[in-house]
Chain A
Amino acid sequence: MQTYLQFAVLGLGLGAIYIGLGTGLLLVHRATGIINFAQGAMAMWGAYVFAQLRLDGTLMLPIGSIDLGRRPTVAVAALIGLVTAVLLGLVAHYLVFRPVRNAPVLAQVVVSVALMITIQALVVLRFGPNNIKVDSILPEGSWSLAGIELSSREILMTLIMAALSAVVWAYMRFTRAGVATRAASENERAAVLMGFSPDRLAAVAQVIASVLGTVAVTLGSALTGLNPENYTLLVVPALAVLLVARMESIGIVVVAAIVLGAFQSIIGLLVTKPWWPVWAQSGFDQIIPFAVVMVILFVLGRRLPSRGSLQTVRLPDVVIPRLRLVPAVVLAVVGVAALALTSGSYRFGITTSIIVMLLALSYVVLTGYLGQISLAQGAFAGAAGFTLSKVTSNLGVPFPLSVILCGLVASALGMLVALPAFRIRGAQLAIVTIAAALAIERFVFNNYSLTPPEGNPIAAATLFGINLSVREGRDLSRLSFSLMVLVIAALLVWMFIRLASGDTGRAFLAVRANERAAASSGINVRMTKLIGFGISAFIAGIAGCLIGLSRGQLSAESFTVFAGLQVLAVAYLGGITSVGGAMVAGVLGPLGIVYVLLRGVFDLGAYYPLISGLGLILTAILNPVGVAGATREQVAWVRRRLSRGGTAEPPPVADATPKPKEPSHV
């Protein structure tokens, strides 16, 4: 019993961070209606600045740094860290969230995910990818309670964070600005009538949230050290806490955060017990936030309060694709030529681009056509990849069958994750899927008893005696492998176009446009979503198998949550509603050909994640139709001009279809 209590208290360190992030999320949601997936990443920056100042007296800026000569005192360093947090909150509001305040939910989710990727990438660039030590502001020590020694630092942290949350609660409750913020979350006009600008209130909320998170992470990271990936993803348990509090009650945020932190810590103790099953030892604590999210959103089916503002939930238009012979042949020839004329890392880059194109295509199916958000596509790909390792090396299933089988496994997983989509949509679905992705990554991919750390070899493919392995001798990128990838990709694109131009695609678009109307037109909305998730995960799964085959073996690093989010970034960047967009995404995608060129020619490979994050922010704000959509508009415009023989007459009214750019309301 004594040990349990001690572990529970140790978990308060985590709980304190959840309080800071959860309160910030709540405040920002109330003020702007946006769920800020970047809350963890934003909080991390100020803590890093503090830690670096204390390490060697360097004030690290996003670009460049200032050497202060000597290490500042803890108080000065902490103050500088907080000032950074204030500035970051302002930047986030005015440059990132304000432009999308009336945009569709999808654009808002994408923008905040983009900010999260960007800050995380910037932290890796500026402070390095490894864990760094953080000076403790609070003294170490212990208090004894009924003869049990309890660590005092964690308790102090929690008290400080609870007190700060109480201040935020008082602000919301007793100040006119706070009351106006609460009013704005129901109806923005109410805030205007009270004499407040909702925009100003939102900026204040972003700043408070940023500061609160930074304090929490600065205090809490003294226990564990800072690490870019873990702290960015702490937003997931914080989101679970937010849901428990129904996005309304700061008091419940505090209690839920403490309970979750303590509970995760106790789980950490329980998994070391001899009776605990070995296969469930690693990553089990990460199941809990996911379970909480699922229970609240799906099992209890609670509708969360949504915001009464004028939102046009409109996605970029879809042009229904047609199979046309000439473009198909041209693309095939270009693909084969590009692969045949290159070699080594360039050919490998092009091959990876084709695979990333497939991952992006899985987003086109799910998000572009069906209008559903999923942040778990990377996990679907990974599940298929690891299954491929098992079925090829343990069961010896032959090549084309093995890949199809694993695609179907991913498909089944996708449909499982689709279940919450029966009840929820938009940002809430994004929360469920990112929690699922994190749970799968930590509990399955990082679980040594399921995926051994010595590697998950994948047997090379052969078909009719042809060796399709990726490398042989000194050739690290064989042409036959690349051509196989091209053929599989072509098959999947063909399948996609068949579906998208058929009754299935139309049903998807109907569900995307209006679920009620779809149901009243006889469309089974749930089944349609299930099919969409199934097809999308199947495509992602095949892509995951190809990633596996191209590596020869897999590790958890192949399919991190961030890798999945980066693909979302490029998919959105390319254009989330078309095959053309997926192709652009493939070219731009992580480890694809542009990446290889950046690395090889310009030596900028390390900047790739940052560039993709920034690119996504800009796309989501300025050009939601993506590169492909914008190109299509321009081509259509040029065609119209040409067909009119260069006369400058204004286009007839019927021609003036609304530009898909409209929905962003920039």
Chain B
Amino acid sequence: MSDPAGRGLETRSLTVRYGGLVANSEVSISVRPGQVVGLIGPNGAGKTTFVDAVTGFTRCEGEILLDGVRIDALAPHLRRGSGLSRTWQSGELFGNLSVAENLLAAARKSGWATVVRDLFGRRRAGAGRDVVDSALAVVGLEDVADTLARDLTLGQQKLVGVARALAGGCEVLLLDEPAAGLDSMESQAFAARVRSIAEGNGSGQGPGILLIDHDMSLVLGVCDVVNVLEFGKLIFSGTPAEARTDPTVVAAYLGAPVEASHA
């Protein structure tokens, strides 16, 4: 791994208020390329709020930097365009489109120039199909490319969500509870995929990944760094090994020290 300092995602004192309620308070974390960073915390701790704020779906204060450039004034689609990708807790696929179309919607550009190209440009059969195939290969779902998204199982939908977030490339990938609803077998397979996405699938360095999940063994097993949120505040940031024994983390979230064998 080359020195990635300054690259990837960094938040500085990110704060989100809903009326009088402070949902995120001064949260500063970073996700470097190739790194898998965990974000855990009890229900209502503000994890999804954090992802929404970083990706532009919730108003926030503080700074958000991608590769050292501030992106906190950008609209969500521009943040995606500059390399910040996310998935949604509930999948949020385009249910009426096929899986391949879902990925193409993310990978292909749209706008007035596209209108002109659609109207008068030459059209190649299967344009962009390579992007679709490679993104689906990452999550191991090549065979459902032509299925309607809403006909997939929940587990498949979440994986397609990941593939859609990867389609067209990204610098940092935010995964919002991607393993919720998966059984332990699927969850383990998913952990391996997350690791291999971060490692660039054998082709050098992949994107940085922020992983939010309830599945402790998944998060502690796969992450390089773990951040713990409680009532919107960051109460811990360190390696999984430190997290298992840190008294504040144990008190807030884990209940009892997690045995190393789980990881």
Q: Name A residues whose Cβ lies closer than 8 Å to a Cβ of B.
A: 314-315, 317-318, 495, 498-499, 502-507, 509-510, 512-514, 516-525, 527-528, 531, 535, 657-658
Contact A318 B81 (CB under 8 A): no
Contact B105 A507 (CB under 8 A): yes
Query: What chain B residues lie within 8 Å of A504 (beta carbons)?
Result: 110, 114-115, 118
Contact A517 B93 (CB under 8 A): yes
Contact B81 A522 (CB under 8 A): yes
Counting chain B CB atoms within 10 Å of each CB, the highest count among A504, A520, A528 belongs to A520
Q: A502-B118, A520-B86, A657-B148 are in contact. Are A513 and B111 (CB under 8 A)?
A: no
Partner of A503, one of B77, B85, B109: B109
Q: Is B112 an interface residue (CB 8 A)?
A: yes
Interface positions, chain B 82-102, Cβ under 8 Å from A, are 85-86, 88, 92-97, 101-102
The answer for the CA separation of A520 and B75 in the assembled complex, in Å, is 10
Q: A498-B118, A499-B119, A528-B110 are in contact. Are A516 and B88 (CB under 8 A)?
A: yes
Residue of B nearest to A505 (CB): B118
Query: What chain B residues lie within 8 Å of A516 (beta carbons)?
Result: 57, 88, 92
Query: What chain B residues lie within 8 Å of A523 (beta carbons)?
Result: 77, 105-106, 110
Instruction: Give chain A nearest CB distance to B192 CB in angstroms.
Output: 25
Pairs across A and B, CB under 8 Å, 29 listed? A315-B96, A317-B96, A502-B123, A503-B104, A503-B114, A506-B97, A506-B101, A506-B110, A507-B105, A507-B108, A507-B110, A509-B94, A509-B105, A513-B93, A513-B95, A516-B57, A516-B88, A517-B92, A517-B94, A519-B75, A520-B76, A520-B77, A520-B92, A521-B80, A522-B80, A523-B105, A524-B75, A524-B77, A531-B111
- Counted as pairs of residues, one from A and one from B, with CB atoms less than 8 Å apart, the total is 114
Query: What chain B residues lie within 8 Å of A314 (beta carbons)?
Result: 95-96
The answer for the CA separation of A502 and B115 in the assembled complex, in Å, is 8
Query: What chain B residues lie within 8 Å of A506 (beta carbons)?
Result: 97, 101, 104-105, 108, 110
Q: A502-B114, A503-B110, A503-B118 are in contact. Are A518 and B123 (CB under 8 A)?
A: no
Q: Is B34 an interface residue (CB 8 A)?
A: no
Contact A509 B96 (CB under 8 A): yes
Q: A513-B94, A657-B148 are in contact. Are A524 and B111 (CB under 8 A)?
A: yes
Residue of B nearest to A317 (CB): B96
Residue of B nearest to A499 (CB): B118
Q: Name B residues whose Cβ lies closer than 8 Å to a Cβ of A.
A: 55-57, 75-77, 80-81, 85-86, 88, 92-97, 101-102, 104-106, 108-112, 114-115, 117-119, 123, 148, 150-151, 164-165, 168
The answer for the CA separation of A517 and B151 in the assembled complex, in Å, is 18
Contact B119 A498 (CB under 8 A): yes
Query: What chain A residues lie within 8 Å of B94 (beta carbons)?
Result: 509-510, 513-514, 517-518
The answer for the CA separation of A509 and B117 in the assembled complex, in Å, is 18
Instruction: Give chain A nearest CB distance to B110 CB in angstroms.
Output: 4
The answer for the CA separation of A498 and B116 in the assembled complex, in Å, is 10
Q: A520-B86, A521-B105, A531-B112 are in contact. Are A514 and B118 (CB under 8 A)?
A: no
Contact A509 B164 (CB under 8 A): no
The answer for the CA separation of A525 and B94 in the assembled complex, in Å, is 14
The answer for the CA separation of A546 and B86 in the assembled complex, in Å, is 47
Contact B114 A522 (CB under 8 A): no
Contact B108 A499 (CB under 8 A): no
Instruction: Give chain B nearest CB distance to A81 CB in angstroms.
Output: 47
Q: A506-B104, A521-B164 are in contact. Are A513 and B96 (CB under 8 A)?
A: yes
The answer for the CA separation of A408 and B3 in the assembled complex, in Å, is 54
Which 8 pairs of residues, A with B, have the shortest CB-CB distance?
Answer: A502-B118, A507-B110, A521-B106, A522-B80, A513-B94, A517-B92, A510-B105, A519-B76
Contact B115 A499 (CB under 8 A): yes
Residue of B nearest to A508 (CB): B110
Residue of A nearest to B85 (CB): A520
The answer for the CA separation of A509 and B105 in the assembled complex, in Å, is 9
Query: What chain A residues lie within 8 Å of B112 (beta carbons)?
Result: 527, 531
Residue of B nearest to A502 (CB): B118
Q: A509-B101, A518-B105, A522-B168 are in contact. List 7 more A-B contacts (CB 8 A).
A: A495-B119, A502-B114, A510-B102, A514-B93, A516-B57, A520-B77, A658-B150
Query: What chain A residues lie within 8 Å of B85 (beta carbons)?
Result: 520
The answer for the CA separation of A498 and B123 in the assembled complex, in Å, is 10
Query: What chain B residues lie within 8 Å of A317 (beta carbons)?
Result: 96
Query: What chain B residues lie within 8 Å of A518 (beta carbons)?
Result: 77, 94, 105
